[in-house]
Amino acid sequence: MRSHLPSFFVVRSSQEQKPVTQNSKTGAAFIAGGTIAGAGVSATVGGMGLAGGFGAVGIGATPVVAAGAVAGAAAYRAINAIAKASMQAINQAYKEFQEQLNACKCQ
């Protein structure tokens, strides 16, 4: 049976989706932690707002919680990038060490 819906309306089956890995679980934990931190900040600080020449606008809990989730995701990606760069640097240093060691053995 062919669907007449555009491709962005078609829901994929669970068999086509990628399996949950440890990285995605860790990322979800960072996002959940950021969300909880955002909720904590909102509960602690309470009524927040922005004031300027345009007047004043109140900021509720939802944007603060969302900002916490975004901050958690950003922290996860930053830590992953640092770890990946560190591993690449370590691997490169190890390769150079092995080349120097092999050069010494040949002489």
- Identify the pLDDT of residue 9: 47
Helix (H) or strand (E) holding 55: strand 55-59
Cβ atoms of residues 76 and 27 within 8 Å: yes
Per-residue pLDDT of the chain (107 residues; tens, 9 = 90+): 455 545 544 445 544 555 556 668 888 899 999 999 999 988 888 888 888 888 888 888 888 899 999 999 999 988 888 888 888 888 888 888 888 888 876 65
What are the sequence ranges of the domains in the chain? Answer: 22-106
